[in-house]
A and B are shown apart, each in its own frame.
Chain A
């Protein structure tokens, strides 16, 4: 039976400030969809930062059943300043079947990076998700978030991802994410969900926030070059 509310497929682009958690959330989202039985392609669109991209963990993610578009560490090996490199397959990724999750690197151009993906601006399926960590100095205040979001370009939803790495506490998460949710209301942008480390599984009450909570596992610490 066809239900008009169910989208044909999931196409999400994760953008955000440097080190805001885009790659981590893109990976978790891709794996979540995989476990639901979908075919999923994860795309590395990081063209500024040579470290902390999906490259070193490409194989591991492929072993979990994801199609990963991006160069692996070995492909980039020996090339020195291997910052900006774009796998040609990334350009046509929306033509593939199945869900597509895009990890858009940081950079002054924000969401305009999606110009590099054919069909992105015309796509009705695409949702641009802005990831915000309230512990990052540039987005650590109402004004900071507003300024940042207004410079990003297209934003369809916000994902609240406040954390302090190994020093994260419940207080940090609550304070930060509540602030983000407030600003989102002010800007009239929906908050798709709040991302929280799995360690806090029993300790967060979603009703306190009014948005869905997703518990995530961290893969990126393995991804430093």
Chain B
């Protein structure tokens, strides 16, 4: 079997394509998916490349099936993944719930599009609530919000490892702009960077004969007879989740040593925030920049620390949604007395100019 990438090199790629290649180098065995704009190229590239490397693919009848087929596949010990957007993400909440309940290492790439409903096929950051706390569970998920193609590549690889090491459903949260934009990045075989891919193992179809008494049959479930049983399960998952939060949390902060106002944003909007803060600083305005990379778990202590050390009186939360990231942020930093201003552009891109103007109007 040929190696996917023998040595690292610079390439000019689109976001979707990057996700497909990253899954390939991560050793993903199979992809299940369903057509929905703007993530179709992940399937287009996977179907072209997978046969050359002995990987599998199935276009399922819908996203519910795509999610459940991934669940089944990881239960059997194979590294499976899927990708979706918008209404497809809504449908996948049912299988993602099963993954949360049964601790299945599912990896899903979400390319946000306008919502609610069919919305637009283009872009938004309106799937934050859905991806972080969707389904009928407690949000025991890991969500990476990427902003560049390099990050899509890096975090798909990391996402597989995170999922298989900690066994919580893991998401790479992108959007339609990232999916389609073209930019250079460095693609590499994980080993070259000292990244070891976490081994997979099955929960069913294990080695050894049950009949010959070599092992017990595995009986997996996600439903319980008594409230108390469920309570124990949820509390254990919560404890496992909370224990790993410190090592999972990732964020980026700039100019927070002294800032009057900190711009809080995530994903592709953080690129605009970065440029905006640079421009404002050049004009003598003390703006700071804070960007959670993991939305779950949220870098709450780190944001509180940034607010404390900077002396900032205000935060500006900028997002391409009507408050999903704002609500998440507010709940995580509850107790902070800093005033939170907002720049909401549901389904619409935000450029540095938008943030600069907004800050000038409120400072």
Query: B-contacting residues of A (Cβ < 8 Å)?
Result: 18-19, 49-52, 80-83, 108, 133, 135-138, 140, 163-168, 172, 224-225
Contacts and interface: CB of A to CB of B under 8 A. Distances in A.
B116 interface: no
B283 interface: no
Give chain A's interface secondary structure class: loop
Interface of B: 9-14, 17, 21, 37-38, 41, 44, 48, 118, 120-123, 176-177, 180-184, 187
Given A18-B17, A225-B122, A164 B12 contact: yes
A167 B176 contact: no
A135 B14 contact: no
18 contacts: A18-B44, A19-B12, A19-B182, A50-B38, A51-B38, A80-B120, A80-B121, A81-B37, A82-B121, A83-B37, A135-B10, A137-B187, A138-B48, A140-B9, A140-B11, A163-B12, A165-B183, A224-B180
B11 A19 contact: no
B106 to A, nearest CB: 26
A137 B48 CA distance: 13
A225 B175 CA distance: 13
- Residue of A49, A51, A140, A172 ringed by the most chain B CB atoms within 10 A: A51
A50 B38 CA distance: 9
A171 to B, nearest CB: 10
Contacts of A82: 121
A137 B177 contact: no
Contacts of B38: 50-51
A133 B176 CA distance: 23
Contacts of A163: 12
Contacts of B184: 135, 164-168
Contacts of B17: 18-19, 137
Given A51-B176, A83-B121, A224-B181, A136 B13 contact: yes
Contacts of B121: 50, 80-83
A138 B181 CA distance: 17
A51 B12 CA distance: 17
Contacts of A167: 10, 184
B7 to A, nearest CB: 12
B116 to A, nearest CB: 13
A137 B11 contact: yes
Contact of A135 (B11, B123, B180): B11
A166 B37 contact: no
Contacts of B177: 224
Given A51-B176, A172-B10, 4 more contacts: A19-B17, A135-B10, A136-B11, A225-B122
B172 to A, nearest CB: 19
B180 A51 contact: yes
